[in-house]
Chains A and B, each alone.
Chain A
Amino acid sequence: MTSSHEITVVLDGETARLAQGITLRETVARHIGRELDPDGTPADGGRLGVAVAVDGAVVPRREWHAHVIAAGSTIDVVTATQGG
């Protein structure tokens, strides 16, 4: 059961429950285990190396802070892996 304070989304292909009102920045930070500054850059000073698409469209990292996740969103967090 999804409580009234939670929303259901698809995060990296898996169903996930998130707190209502959570931002994309908070969601990504939790997903990759790194704190992110409001402009989307890592608080540890390193390079981020990830990008995000919501419902099939890229959301630039500087917009993550203001992006409140809507119920039913499909969120993909991608990075580089071996290939090619």
Chain B
Amino acid sequence: MDDALVLGGERLTSRLIMGTGGASSLATLEASLVASGTEVTTVAIRRYAAAGGNSVFAMLERLGVRALPNTAGCFAARDAVLTAQLAREALETDWIKLEVVADEDTLLPDPVELLTAADQLVADGFSVFAYTNDDPILARRLQDVGVVAVMPAGAPIGTGLGILNPHHIEMIAAAAEVPVVLDAGVGTASDAALAMELGCDAVLLASAVTRAHDAPLMARAMRAAVQAGRDAYRAGRIPRRSLARASSPDEGRIDAW
């Protein structure tokens, strides 16, 4: 059955977006990306010398994986807008994963700067994928300014704490008119499955795979988990009950006497 995801005008088969951050080597990263089945991956924009040349760009070209540049490391709307403009020029894409964080300790989005930057970038013709808090109201405000995807954090970046507020993630997914991508906080496969069961359209993760003991194996696990969670969401879970309900029939039961 066709269950493709349309993200930023692009039709995707995989609902797992694996980022490139945190990998120990390019070879491990490549093996993990392939095992994850991802069709889109995030990249950061950095100075050429610090980035060690454009080896990541070349690898993605070779693999045919689409790059979604991010504005990681930006603390103000102004920095994020310049980074987005550089990313558009370098990678020849209007897609931008907008990250405007408040501080180094939490790496949580700064809502005011985020909304300001999103507004400016949408006006400048970007397809904005907004990394945001698990706040249903902020998600709505981001949609109002025209982002193409809302990407709430399950937990702070790199913590692996999973989904700290499933209720809010579910509310965001239920109310959204654009795709919702659970972004950040995933620690293991069950977190990714839960995100999909809550109604998210996709999951974006990096550290959970790249920092796992066996990164390609974890990438495979995440791929299966996202698919399982999506299937479970579409199939419809049974209602929770407070008391047991037998699944075997009463009729024909043998009683001892």
Contacts and interface: CB of A to CB of B under 8 A. Distances in A.
A80 interface: yes
Consensus secondary structure, chain B interface:
mixed
A48 B72 CA distance: 22
B63 interface: no
B214 interface: no
A51 B61 contact: no
A82 B90 contact: no
Interface stretch (B1-9, B46-54, B248-256): B46-54
B42 A83 contact: yes
A77 B42 contact: no
Interface in B1-44: 19-23, 29, 42-44
A78 B45 contact: yes
A28 to B, nearest CB: 9
A83 B48 contact: no
Given A47-B92, A49-B57, A49-B58, A81 B50 contact: yes
Contacts of A77: 47-48
Interface stretch (B79-87, B109-117, B165-173): B79-87
Contacts of A82: 20-23, 29, 43-44, 56
Contacts of A60: 89
Contacts, number: 112
B123 interface: no
Contact of B52 (A14, A52, A81): A81
A76 B92 CA distance: 18
Contacts of A78: 45-48, 51, 86, 90
A50 interface: yes
A48 B46 CA distance: 15
A79 interface: yes
Given A49-B91, A58-B89, A79 B82 contact: no
A72 B54 CA distance: 26
Contacts of B88: 51
B69 interface: yes
A80 B90 contact: yes
Interface of A: 12-14, 31-32, 46-53, 56-58, 60-61, 76-84
Interface of B: 19-23, 29, 42-54, 56-58, 60-61, 67, 69-70, 72, 82, 85-92, 97, 99, 206
